[in-house]
Amino acid sequence: MADEHRLYGLIGYPIGFVRSPGILNTYLTEHGLPGRMIPFGVKPESLDAALTGLRHVENLAGFFVTMPFKESILPLLDDASETARIAGAVNIVRRTPDGQLFGHQLDGAGFVGAMTAAGITIAGASAHVAGAGGVSAGICCALAEAGIGRIAIANRNRERAETLANRLRSAFPATVFTVTTAAPGAEIDIVVNAISLGLSADDPLPVDLSATRHGIFVGDVVNVPHMTPFLEVAEARGCRTQHGKAMFGPQIPLALRFYENGL
């Protein structure tokens, strides 16, 4: 494709909350790189038809995937990476020159990359992760790859959490995965909110931090507002915090390399 006409997409619904197009477009401009990212609002019932159309857009290098498609898109793709299959979720898709769609998972790499850049110790630590959806799965995979000791997965649907934990146990036998309905306690070093609570001002807090130690790491995947009420509570407890936008920056060079060359 001609570099000056290169497109990167993002599909999701609704898309009013997404900030990644602005971040990526700024990165491309600052680094003198061609291309532009455009968000596409796709209703869930139209996902299959939208993918059929995107296969034929020859100047489309690929696209990011956000809510609610990270899991539902997987069986509609031609192929996917092992990381995406373990997570059961995709957040980036590469379009090959012949229109094939190949899925990958970079949510976890971005989230953990931001943690590592901030000097957070992951190896041997204990984490509490709220959520058992696509973002949670990706983050759990990346934490396990970084050598974390234990991950407790909390989710309203316990069966969904058990399914994810079983898949992760098979892939990462060195990490202990449990499912819990309890709030994190004093043994927890890392707390991650991987659900959408916090997007609305009247949302309840996604995790009760009252029994945790002061000064632990608390991360949120919600990126609007920048400082969610959950992170404000965490900072008041002296915790080291990571906002939702932080996980996208480390993904950009990985994504551009994936779009260009695949895995």
The set of catalytic residues is 70
3-state secondary structure of 113: helix
Burial of 247 per CB tally in 10 Å (0-12, 13-18, 19+): buried
The span from the CA of 39 to the CA of 30, in Å, is: 20
Give helix then strand counts, H and E, for the chain: 8, 12
Q: What is 157-177 written as a DSSP string?
A: SHHHHHHHHHHHHHH-TTSEE
3-state secondary structure of 1: coil
Crossing angle of the two packed helices 134-145 and 158-171, in degrees rounded to 10: 30
Q: Which amino acid is at 157?
A: N
